[in-house]
Amino acid sequence: MRKISAATLGLLFLVAGECAHATPPAQAGATEARGHFAQVSGVKLYYEECNTASRISVVLLHDGLLHSVTWDDVWAPLCARFHVLRYDRRGYGRSDAATAPFVPEEDLFQLMRLVKMNRAIIVGNSSGAGLALDFALAHSDMTEGLFLIGPVVHGMASSAYFLERGNRANAPLAQNDLKAAAENWSRDPYLISGANPEARKKLFDALALNPQNLKTGGQFESRPSPPSVLRLAQIQAPAVILIGDSDIADVIAYGGAIEAALPIVSFEVWKNCGHLIQLERPAELVVRFERFAALADRREANVPSAELRDLVGEYRFFSRSIAISLKNDRLWLGLPDTPDKPLFAASNSRFFVRTTETEFQFERDPAGKIVKLVIFNADGNKIECPRA
């Protein structure tokens, strides 16, 4: 039974998060970056970019407490392989605070244009992931993929527990005691899992040196209407959701809502991690991102519709049946209890998904008739599914 369960999980494009990988060393020269300031709608925004020669572009969007320094530990290895942009959103780090209503995704659009990124994989943590989703809805042509860490989604309300926790941590701000508020957040059990003094010190130091972060809220941010949570199904970019098992329940709920709506998505729970996985497990995060980037960037073969139509049908999958259908010149895979998932052509007979390394091979008999579908899971497990 366990073997069947694992195969089914592979088929449904789910992966269990593990924190036990290593990151290859950065290439010399690729990580050099100098900060710049850009004028965006009358506001000065601080940003950094690196490795402009790389073909694959990546944007890093920070959460609602830390500014772009949250990515320090992943910056060098990412810069070794990708053209990377990170910036301080309005009111955070070295960027000007907002004084009037603005659209956050427009800031991101302007910065991407400035650094000549026509299309990028958007990496977002927490509220940065919410911005990534908003951007994907507003600028689908510029969104190659979504790598969402402890995401929120705009339009989905927070629980009273979540709000009370934030109010408790920020209570010292009423007496202008910024250090005490920074200490409260650095001890938060949901942001960082377990003791992890190194990560907690990074969190405290960043807030202590940038107390304006604690006073920055979303009061001037204009949210999409209708809200993003109601339009997630429109996003066609592949996405991965990473959530630490110590994160707060609201974030797990947000992740579930996103997973249920996006058509191309993988949901992973990482053991012994909290909300700020980039501070806790930077090396493992880089390795996971590199795997996702390779799939998001993988080129699709052009297969005529007539050949795709020949693959449509039912295939036996243990005691169930896999349905292969054709919609808008693309094959879709479906099981009775799951939403259909799009398949991408590697060749006329081999197909892949953009969230895991699972691949699908349609095989023919000597007469040229399709006789079975073979599933190659990421764990090396192979499943043969005869045509019904």
Q: Report the CATH number at residue 373.
A: 2.40.128
Asked, for residue 6, whether it belongs to a domain, the answer is no
Asked, for residue 145, whether it belongs to a domain, the answer is yes
Do 275 and 318 lie in a common domain?
no
Q: Among 252, 275, 297, give the residue marking a domain's end.
A: 297
Asked, for residue 17, whether it belongs to a domain, the answer is no
Residue 243 has pLDDT above 80, yes or no: yes
**pLDDT the model gives residue 251:** 98
**pLDDT the model gives residue 13:** 42
- Model-level pTM? 0.90
- What are 302's strand-pairing partners? none
Q: What is the pLDDT of residues 64-109, one digit of tens each?
A: 999 999 999 999 999 999 999 999 999 999 999 999 999 999 999 9
Do 118 and 223 lie in a common domain?
yes
Decide if 127 contacts 154 (C-beta within 8 A).
no
Residue 289 is part of a domain; what is its CATH number? Answer: 3.40.50.1820
Asked, for residue 3, whether it belongs to a domain, the answer is no
Do 106 and 149 lie in a common domain?
yes
Do 289 and 332 lie in a common domain?
no
Q: pLDDT band at 217, cuts 50/70/90?
A: confident
* For range 104-116, the mean pLDDT: 98
Do 41 and 151 lie in a common domain?
yes
Read out DSSP for 297-318?
A: HPPPP---HHHHHTT-EEEEET
Do 198 and 275 lie in a common domain?
yes
Do 93 and 222 lie in a common domain?
yes
Residue 242 has pLDDT above 90, yes or no: yes
Q: pLDDT band at 16, cuts 50/70/90?
A: very low
Q: Domain tally for the chain?
A: 2
Do 310 and 224 lie in a common domain?
no
Q: Among 253, 271, 297, give the residue marking a domain's end.
A: 297
Do 67 and 198 lie in a common domain?
yes
**pLDDT the model gives residue 337:** 85
Do 95 and 201 lie in a common domain?
yes
Do 291 and 310 lie in a common domain?
no
What average pLDDT is seen over the chain?
A: 92
Q: Among 248, 265, 297, give the residue marking a domain's end.
A: 297
E-state strands within the chain? 36-40, 43-50, 57-61, 83-87, 120-125, 143-149, 239-244, 265-270, 313-317, 320-327, 330-334, 341-342, 344-345, 350-352, 359-364, 370-376, 382-386
Domain housing 259: 31-297
Do 197 and 317 lie in a common domain?
no
For residue 372, the SS3 value is: strand
**pLDDT the model gives residue 339:** 87
